[in-house]
Amino acid sequence: MKPWRILFLASSLPVGGAERQLQTLVRNLRRDRFEPIICCARTPGAVGEELRSDGFVVHSDLIRGRYDLSLVFRLLRLINKEAIDLLYVRNELNVTVCATLASLLSRVPIVVGVHATSRLRRRRRVALANKVLMPFIDRFVAVAQAHKSYLVRREGLDPNKIVVIHNGVDGHRFEGAPAASLREELDIPPNATTAGIVAVLRPEKAHEVFLEAVARVYQSFPSAYFLIVGDGPERERLEKMSERLGIESRVRFCGHRADVASVLADIDVVLLSSDPVVETFPMALLEAMAAGKPVVATRVGSVPEMVVDGVTGYLVPPRSPEAMAHQMLHLLADGELRAEMGAAGRQRVNMRFTTKRMVAETEQLLEEVTRNRASGYRIRMVRRSG
């Protein structure tokens, strides 16, 4: 039997957690069962170019404007040309609308992967689109149970059409990773205790809560250092805030780092300060746990499905620098507790959140949808001919 030909469709594939998950999936699909083809409706992005370098077929530049319905016909031609058996679409409104129409016209099944929650200003449009498109979409993929609940409650999706597949991480990449040269680069003493946050510097990540917590911890633990790994539009504001709080001598802005495994090896406690209804399944926490680091994270989105409070780290209320500071200080001051929680986190990742498991569950879904649609179509054709 020939492998199923799967068209993975996105607007673009820049560097990001969801994009890396898609890349991991494509690279690890069994080639005897699936043949992935990539389509970036706009530009390939860095991840798209990496997949192209890997030898995958990557189509791009199919869309002409923000709302370009002619994409439907270009997708139909591509489906024909590549003999596609199934569409797997990242849930971006314009691309999803066009892909669903192309699926309907070509009778090729479609799965929509939803890897983020809609921003408030887009929620009504998304809910309306979902209501119209949902009957024609075979399955939606959510990345956590809390994410599924959100999609049903806020975006109007049918719970019977949603499959939960957690993101996965390759734990071996983080076990025993050599420390980066961060301490030397940033003038941090080799034996200093460190806490850090790994996240793009955007408002919804609430880095100011982290800094306010740091200001409290610094009063009781002045020898600690605090790292902000990532870049973004909030950097200048946050740098000024650290000066205003009088903690600039202990806070290090590291910018974007590609060597995440090595960076995590240099951090003793990892934090997440995000606001509610932002985090679907934050890879930064998953990677920190895979690296054997205890975490302190806000109780938002799907985070409680990842972090077991009091076992692999601590969960704190959002927008509470006091609570975050309390638990951060608790971990910074107790090396044995850090090691115990870090080991528990690594074990949890290796049992529940592996790349292998994510790929296997996705393969099962793709095969099930493709077989069911093909079987249903054959039955309809027999009935019509009879």
pLDDT digits (tens, 9 = 90+) for 147-181: 999 899 888 899 999 999 999 999 999 987 787 77
Share of the chain above pLDDT 70, in %: 94
Q: What's the pLDDT band for 119 if we cut at 50, 70, 90?
A: low
| Residue 77 neighbours by CB under 8 Å, 6+ apart | none
- Same structural domain for residues 20 and 103? yes
The 139-142 sheet, strands edge to edge = 58-60, 34-40, 4-10, 86-90, 110-113, 139-142, 162-164
* Residue 7 identity: L
- pLDDT at residue 66 in the model: 72
Query: What is the chain's mean pLDDT, rounded?
Result: 92
C-alpha torsion 178→327→302→206, nearest 10? -90
- Same structural domain for residues 262 and 211? yes
**Of the candidates 181, 155, 110, the residue with the CA atom closest to the CA atom of residue 365:** 110
- Same structural domain for residues 66 and 158? yes
- pLDDT at residue 146 in the model: 92
| Residue 62 neighbours by CB under 8 Å, 6+ apart | 39, 41, 42, 71, 74, 75, 78
| Residue 46 neighbours by CB under 8 Å, 6+ apart | 13, 14, 15
CATH code of the domain covering residue 101: 3.40.50.2000
- Same structural domain for residues 233 and 376? no
Q: Phi and psi of 271, rounded to 5°?
A: -125, 155
- pLDDT at residue 65 in the model: 74
Residue 70: half-sphere exposure toward Cβ, Cα within 13 Å: 6
- Same structural domain for residues 131 and 241? no
What CA–CA distances, in Å, run from 189 to 30, 195, 212, 229, 339?
Answer: 46, 14, 23, 18, 20
- pLDDT at residue 128 in the model: 80
In total, the chain counts a number of residues equal to 386
Range of the domain at 10: 4-168+354-385
Strand partners, 197: 228, 271
- Same structural domain for residues 104 and 201? no
- The tens digit of pLDDT for each residue in 42-55 reads 999 999 999 999 99
Residue 386, pLDDT above cutoff 60 = no
Q: How far apart are CA 355 and CA 300, in angstroms?
A: 23
Task: Kindly state the tokens that stand for 23.
Answer: 């890349």
- pLDDT at residue 280 in the model: 83
CB 271 within 8 A of CB 295: yes
| Mean per-residue pLDDT, 363-386 | 65
- pLDDT at residue 323 in the model: 99
- Same structural domain for residues 132 and 199? no
**Of the candidates 238, 243, 294, 286, the residue with the CA atom closest to the CA atom of residue 261:** 286
Residue 18, pLDDT above cutoff 90 = no
Phi-psi region of 176 (alpha: psi -120 to 50; beta: other; left: phi over 0): left
What CA–CA distances, in Å, run from 343 to 143, 175, 290, 311?
Answer: 24, 11, 9, 10
Residue 64: half-sphere exposure toward Cβ, Cα within 13 Å: 7
- Same structural domain for residues 132 and 28? yes
- Same structural domain for residues 41 and 68? yes
Number of folded domains that form the chain: 2
Q: How far apart are CA 373 and CA 85, in angstroms?
A: 10
- Same structural domain for residues 147 and 270? no
- pLDDT at residue 156 in the model: 87
- Same structural domain for residues 61 and 115? yes
* Residue 168 identity: G
118 versus 244: which is more confidently predicted?
A: 244
pTM of the model: 0.89
Share of the chain above pLDDT 90, in %: 78
- The tens digit of pLDDT for each residue in 204-246 reads 999 999 999 999 999 999 999 999 999 999 999 999 999 999 9
- Same structural domain for residues 149 and 130? yes
Strand partners, 87: 7, 110
